[in-house]
Structure 1
Amino acid sequence: MLAKESRPRVAVYGLGGTIAMTSDGSGGVVPALSAAQLVAAVPGLAETGVDIEVEDFRRLPGASLGLSDLTDLAVEIDKRLASGTVDGVVVTQGTDTIEETSYLLDLFHTAPQPVVLTGAMRNPTLAGADGPANLLAAVQTAAHPSARDLGVLVVLADEIHAAGRVRKTHATSVTTFRSPNGGPLGYVVEGTPRLLNHPTERTTLDLSNLGSGPRVALVTVALGDDGLLLDGLAERVDGAVIAAFGVGHVPKNLVPALEDLANRVPVVLASRTGAGAGLATTYGFPGSEQDLLGRGLIQAGFLDPYKARVLLWALLATGHERAAVSETFASASGHSPPDPSHPSEKMRKPTCAVTN
């Protein structure tokens, strides 16, 4: 007689967000629904054959989540997956910060089981609320064997995105999430994840090395920028990301301040455009990408400024020094490693892993 096949098990962690909001009587909505209430409100979930466990981890708007909330969650998920009691994890949260929170969780996620983030653009009091459909698709993805070994995924509007690529691109549209560099990994079709491509590589860090949180600034360069936000910045931060024009350009008057900053703390040069890679050798004028990289700034490559800040924060929080930071960014962004002979490079063997 054949043994009865076990049902897949998925743990749902609730963090709050629009998906969990209801009216508080003042004319606005606030996070109020528990993870159990969210799961109970999903039509068709009981028919999927997936056993659901729920955990109320936080009940906050997405904008109020902090880095410590996410590292605490990473620890809890790591323990849950290591116990072997679930086949996957779903996290519900506000969409404001999913593009950042998913990447932070991805950096610390080394288990084969999928971790899927989802949320909603329309709260449950509105016609056409998308939360139940998104949660259903996220559970179906997290429970499916094809989603294993892909790291952290983001599933909304029946699209499956890699955490390292996904961006929120519209303030209100239910199809706000896009992956400009590479497109979605696949789609949920009739309740089954259909994967059309896979991430080429992922950068992962050792969660056990996590120390006190560094302070990492994100400075966006604008037309006619006089560098006010750079004044005294080195004394106040442990690292910085510069969201520069185009392929990595800044006004020439900012060059001295950026060089001084890069001599004191790791400074990552990213493009503020939101898609495409920064360049390295095409332009040579003062304030160009070639000029800035030659002065010790670190190339973000395909990583947008928000994800570059998350990676820099995570590297510094796990004890990486400048050379290891540069080397990891080179791997994570698809560029060649930096020149170790550059005076700003203090060599240290990196403790992160890039997995194919």
Structure 2
Amino acid sequence: MTGQLIREAFASARSGPVASIVTIIMVTGMILAVMLTTGRTVGAEQNVLGSIDSAGTRSIVIRAEDSAGVTADALNRMAGIEGIEWAGAFSSAIDSTNGINPDGTRVPVRFAYGTNLARLDINTPSPLPGELAYASQTALDQLGLIDIAGSITLTTGSNYAVAGRINVPDFLTGFEPLALVPQPNATGTEPINVIVVIAERPDLVAPVSAAVLSVLAADDPTKITVQTSAALAELRALIEGQLGSFSRGLVLALLGLTGALVAILLYGLVMMRRKDFGRRRALGATRSYIVTLLLAQTALLATAGIAIGTIGSVIALLALGDPLPGLAFTAALAILTLVTALIAALVPALVASRREPIRELRVP
């Protein structure tokens, strides 16, 4: 039954080529208009928000003076806070030099605490816990350890073999040149001077910052300063709200216009083919069948227009070098367009289904 209905809907669409072509053109034009305006805006919005959502804009940097009394066990208390993507703690900086060149350039070294240091390309578990150092490319260049072979000597006299290069994420670029000595077996009593926390989302920066401060257990909270990207989180919300409002308004307007045009076109088609629908009713076609037939015909034409419009708009955006709006937006637009066309066709379909066979067949 379904296959027969589709075949009949296709034949009905072919029997009225002008109306069918106009319907396809209207749907195609609607898709092109939305994709080349709102779609382009959404693509640009996604690029902007993607930049704002980078880890560097979700970072919370807490600095504690030596007298603040913050220790490494703060990380254990922070483990119960929801909304934290990554956290690490660092000691105060200690100068170091190349192990074989004590008069060389000095590079600050920090002891690092945390369970997810692998994000920095630090080997975990460490083959020699607490005895290996890792450095960024900038630090290695200044130390003269370009081949990552050698050791560093701290001004305290401690010596550490350099085991690898650190992949410095954007939220740690402010600490360059960066050299770290991981402390996987820390007791929790070690003093720390810097805690870096990355929130899962920009809107969580403020609440996560407050929660982290509440579990630091500092001896002197006045010796603690917090640097967050809360302003960027607010900017993100503002950008998303303004662009989203504009995009929704334009899409709704175009959908409404397209729906109205489809309804008018199909109503005219029904009036021109009323004798045909009268014959169908006289031959036993039910009202529901007539409605379903017209909706199926509309769905076929709308699908063709959606496909042509989507392919054409993607080609145009790529040719213009504009960002694509993404699969989710494109699929949502296609579904909304199809639903709009079907809703617009519903009234003409109901009108066609209520034509009286005898009355229509008497029309000359």
TM-score for both structures, normalised by structure 2: 0.17
More helix by share: 2
Higher relative contact order (CA 8 A, sep 6+): 2
Larger Rg: 2
